[in-house]
Amino acid sequence: MNVSSPFDLARTAAPVWWARGRWPNVDWREGAFFWVGWEEGNLAWRLVRQADAHNLEIQGARSAGLDAEWASAVLGARAVMPRFEDPVLVRLAGAHAGLRPWSAGSLFAGVVTSIVGQSISVAAAATTERRLFELFNEPIDIGGRLYWPPPRPEQLGSASVGLVHNSGVTTKRAEALVSVGALFANGAISECTTAESVRHTDSDLLLAIPGIGPWTVRSALLWGVGGEDSHPTGDVALLRAAKQHYTSVMGLKDLDRLSEAWKPYRGWAARLLSMDLLGFDDEGRSPA
């Protein structure tokens, strides 16, 4: 599959690598991105490598005709790095020119991950999410590693709070996850695959669920559908990243004030700062 240059699969898939193999349905191994999920109601999987600066090699059990659409939703293949005025972001954008906005590929997936990841580390979130996925679907073996597809909205929405609680999330978060599944299952919120298709009412419905606040919704927009301007207010990891570059940032309120200058690309800024803090797999770098 052809992609516009610059494109760097390793940098794009960095959020997957940050969990070091703990995510249930995605992984970064030996310079390849692995993904397992649902496509037109069917279980699908893909293995992606970067052949050269302009081409991705995609293999797997999936609808090959949907590769371009999938790559746009999950790997941000059609996105373009914006131009910044902030000197810090100018430098980071130059250092990570091949970065595209990786995402989980849907608003539903983003919300689930954000609820699970509230106030815990990336590694802990990935481990808990794996336990959650294990409750609903059988794994598939790809290259000697088991991958669990995510629960469908109807599975999560019809589950008992007790079952979801068995994954290790708190009772309050289990209740929120079941409520989210029900909202998507009954069509109150559609399974959007782009930030542009998310309605204001979708955010309002999510915020009305106890246990879901602005950080959860904005994180879901950022990491679920690649929102360009999604600033995850209250994110302590992003605060830690910003402190390394901005002497004016001492706390979360300072970060929120600073982020106003990044509009309309606060989501890109969050990605670049996170990349600077957490890095990516150097051994898997794409060809020059």
Q: 83-234+260-283, what's its fold?
A: Endonuclease III; domain 1 (1.10.340)
Looking at residue 5, its pLDDT comes to 85
Looking at residue 286, its pLDDT comes to 45
Q: Give yes or no for a contact between 98 and 6, defined as CB atoms under 8 angstroms apart.
A: yes
Looking at residue 287, its pLDDT comes to 41
Looking at residue 284, its pLDDT comes to 52
Looking at residue 288, its pLDDT comes to 39
Looking at residue 222, its pLDDT comes to 98
157-207: per-residue pLDDT in tens? 999 999 999 999 999 999 999 999 999 999 999 989 999 999 999 999 999
Instruction: Report CA torsion sign: 37, 283, 101, 234.
Output: positive
Looking at residue 283, its pLDDT comes to 67
CA-based nearest residue to 26, from 124, 133, 114? 133
Q: Give yes or no for a contact between 12 and 100, defined as CB atoms under 8 angstroms apart.
A: yes
Low-confidence ranges of the chain (pLDDT < 50): 286-288
In this prediction the pTM is 0.95
